[in-house]
Structure 1
Amino acid sequence: MNQENRSFFAQYAITTGIAFLLVEKLADGKLSYYINTRFFPLTVFAILVLILMACFSILRRLQPTQSQPKIRNFFKYLIAFFLILFPYFLLSIGGTGWIPLAGLLVSLAGAFLMLIPAGHTHSPAKKESAVPSLSLIFMSIPLIIGLIASEQPLSSSALDNRGLSLTSALGSGQTVNSSLKVIEDDRTILDWIKLFNYSEDHAQYAGSSVNVIGFVYHDARLPEGQFMVSRFIITCCVADAFALGMPVEATTGKIPEDNTWVNVKGSLDITTIDGKTVPLILASSIETVNAPEQPYLYP
């Protein structure tokens, strides 16, 4: 395989790999660990563009020469489409985790074998210049990061750098009204904090029933017997994520360790932290639960 073919194959492998990675993240629900769900349609569009780029790229390399009969070229087209789309078909029907990976390897191996005898020849004067190796390295960075990065949502350990807020700068009259329409037991941490931010009469919420899910964080600002139940909020992507928390007074039982996901039920009270009036949960029960499928909240 000459330098030109190697360069082409690298481009094809990276393009197909990124598309496959996005499909996998979207299929297993892990894409929401990285971006706001409202951007999922744009991700689907990007996947389609990447697949089309890969298809047109390999078909361009399979243009017939004078020595190749049309029927042979037709079968090359057919094989190319099959090898490119095979992994996505496996993802659509589900299966164990190794099956999609095996499908991707089959796709890339097949394309590699087809490229050993070049589909068409170039004269030295018209030979296409290969993409510089540095460009290919930059193209491969998103794929490499996606493959090696751990698929875990942000946890309490991220609060050491990001901090935890007791008030939300997000919201408007419309979003606050939407929080008011949610029944008390269905309100999230974000709903309660938005209501407090934009309410002039906090006392109206005292005694309200609270039922929220979040992870435990022991904040140094809280007295003994209290902890924060927290969730990360994402506006666009995980890079702009910030944590909101509600203090919880544990009247009974042992307080769970940091980063433990809990379902806190109780009644709402009012307290002051750092000069700010914030909602306080007087917990009647603190139950350890699994992390929700969607760990983030969206304004």
Structure 2
Amino acid sequence: MNWLPPFVLGLWGAVLLQAWGSGRLNLLLQADFHWLVLVSGLLLLALAGLAARFAPKRRSGRTPALVMLLAAPLVLLIPPRPSFSTLAANRSSGALEGENETLTFLSPPEQRSLTDWVRLLRSQPDPELYRGDPVRISGFVMPTPQAAPVLARLTVRCCLADATPVGIPVIWPEGESLKADEWLAVSGEMGVERVGGVLRSVVIAERVQPIPKPKRPFEP
């Protein structure tokens, strides 16, 4: 019996199930789509069983199967470590879903996430509306050319391939050491600054605390 094709199918089914069960998908795929990986893994295992039962005795197509066989352990042993700041620097800040709509419900300022603030500021951009509002947000440090780093998030509709960066400018405490991709919780208040003759909202950070990368770092 040609054991290689069913073995490869089963191995990749196990890889998908391991990714689903270990939480690794949180770095690659929006949570709403995790069930597709689970179903795919189960289907591959089922196909592996069928292939083992009805596999032809003639051995053919060994090269593609061997490549997939060698690739599977690498996927298991090398976890994904995407650099969010590098990814964000190579993507344009696209429109957030619903940003052009009038916001009819606003949560209290201290309960707004970074993405909530970005949506609000794009929908109602007058910075004087928010001066002095308390801010408690978290995100990763994204360096910007010729300016202070911003605090950013990646919004994802499906997977990492369609990730869109959103960020908010921050006036950091004097002497604060910032590293690209570092995750921070920032507390402070919303202020106003003039950039190129235009007023904009900016977070005046009063407390900056390093935090672990969230298990689900993407925002819808």
Q: Normalising by structure 2, what TM-score?
A: 0.82
Deviation at 1:248, TM superposition (A): 0.8
Structure 2 residue 216 is matched with structure 1 residue 290: no
In structure 1, give the amino acid aligned to 2:179: E
Equivalent of 2:135 in 198, 207, 210: 210
Does the C-alpha gap of structure 1 residues 195 and 24 become closer, same or farther in structure 2, counting only changes over 3 Å?
A: same
Match of 1:150 in 2: 79
Residue type matched to 1:44 in 2?
Answer: L
Distance 2:15 2:102 in 1: 37
**2:88 and 2:154 in contact (8 A); partners too:** no
Task: From 6, 26, 33, give the equivalent of 1:32.
Answer: 26
Q: Write the deviation string for residues 156-205 of structure 1: whole angstroms up to 9, x where unpaired.
A: 23345x1563xx40212798748x44432232222111112222544322
- 1:235-250 equivalences under 5 Å are 235-250=157-172
Amino-acid identity (%): 20
Change (3 A) 1:198 1:182: same
User: Which one has a bigger Cα radius of gyration?
Assistant: 1
For residue 258 of structure 1, report the CA deviation from its aligned partner.
2.2
Unaligned runs of 5+ in 2: none
Q: Number of residues paired by the alignment?
A: 220
In the alignment, which residue of structure 2 is the partner of 1:219?
144
Deviation for aligned residue 1:213: 1.0
**Distance in 1, Cα, partners of 2:8 & 2:101:** 41
| Separation in 1, partners of 2:75, 2:58 | 29
Distance 1:185 1:198, change over 3 A: same
SS at match of 2:44: helix
Q: 1:35, 1:238 within 8 Å by CA — same for their partners in 2? A: yes
Q: CA 1:141–1:176 in 2, change beyond 3 Å: closer, same or farther?
A: farther
Aligned letter for 1:236? C
Q: Partner letter of residue 96 of structure 2?
A: L
SS at match of 2:12: helix
Q: Distance in 1 between matches of 2:186 and 2:175?
A: 12
Maintained 8 Å contact 1:154/1:232: no
SS in 2 for 1:213: strand
The more displaced of 229-238 and 168-177 is 168-177
What is aligned with 2:61? 132
Give the number of the structure with larger relative contact order, counting CA–CA contacts within 8 Å between residues 6 or more apart.
Answer: 2
**Matched residue, 1:23:** 17
Corresponding position: 1:48 with 2:50: no
| Alpha-carbon distance between aligned partners in 2 of 1:245 and 1:169, rounded to the nearest angstrom | 12
> 1: distance between equivalents of 2:103 and 2:17?
36
After superposition, the CA RMSD in angstroms is 3.0
| Structure having the larger proportion of residues in strand | 2
Residues 1:257 and 2:147 are matched in the alignment: no
Contact 1:266/1:281, CA 8 A, preserved across alignment: yes
In the alignment, is the contact (CA less than 8 A) between 2:4 and 2:62 conserved in 1?
A: no
Note if contact 1:21-1:146 (Cα within 8 Å) is conserved in structure 2: yes
Alignment correspondent of 1:190 = 115
Do residues 170 (structure 1) and 99 (structure 2) align?
no
**Structure 2: which amino acid aligns with 1:151?**
P
Greater per-residue helix proportion: 1
